[in-house]
Amino acid sequence: PEHWAYESIGEVKVPAIKIEDWPRNEVDRFVLARLEQEGITPSPDASPHVVLRRLHLDLIGLPPTLSELDAFDTAWQEDREACLEATVDRLLASPHFGERWGRHWLDQARYADSDGYEKDNARPHAWVWRDWVIKAFNDDMPIDQFTIEQLAGDLLPDAKPEHRVATAFHRQTLWNREGGIDPEEDRTKRTIDRLATTARTWLGLSLECAQCHDHPYDPILQRDFYQVYAFFNNADEQSIQIPRLDGEKGKKQEAHVMKRNGNRTIDSLR
Ranked by mean pLDDT, which of 98-112, 160-174, 217-231, 254-268 comes out on top? 98-112
**Per-residue pLDDT at 61 exceeds 90:** yes
**Per-residue pLDDT at 48 exceeds 80:** yes
Ranked by mean pLDDT, which of 89-93, 124-128, 169-173, 266-270 comes out on top? 89-93
Mean pLDDT computed over 24-44: 94
Task: Kindly write down the DSSP assignment for every residue of 171-212, as one continuous string.
Answer: GGS-----TT--HHHHHHHHHHHHHHHHIIIIISS--GGGGT
Task: Give the model's pLDDT for residue 238.
Answer: 72
Task: Give the model's pLDDT for residue 245.
Answer: 61
Mean pLDDT computed over 244-250: 62
What share of the chain in percent tops pLDDT 90?
61
**pLDDT tens per residue across span 123-134:** 888 899 999 999
**Per-residue pLDDT at 256 exceeds 80:** no
**Per-residue pLDDT at 247 exceeds 70:** no
Task: Give the model's pLDDT for residue 143.
Answer: 96
CB 225 within 8 Å of CB 210: yes
**pLDDT tens per residue across span 164-203:** 899 999 989 998 988 888 989 999 999 999 999 999 999 8
More confident residue, 242 or 250: 242
Task: Kindly write down the DSSP assignment for every residue of the chain, as one continuous string.
Answer: ---GGGSPPPP-PPPP-S-TTS-SSHHHHHHHHHHHHTT-PPPPPPPHHHHHHHHHHHHTSSPPPHHHHHHHHHHHHH-HHHHHHHHHHHHHTSHHHHHHHHHHHHHHTT--SB--TTT--B-TTTHHHHHHHHHHHHTT--HHHHHHHHHHGGGSTT--HHHHHHGGGGGGS-----TT--HHHHHHHHHHHHHHHHIIIIISS--GGGGTS--SSSS--HHHHHHHHHHHTTEEEEEEEEE-TT--TT-EEEEEEEEE-TT--GGGG-
**Per-residue pLDDT at 68 exceeds 60:** yes
**Per-residue pLDDT at 270 exceeds 60:** no
* CB proximity list for 199: less than 8 A, separation 6 or greater: 205, 206, 207, 228
CB 98 within 8 Å of CB 135: yes
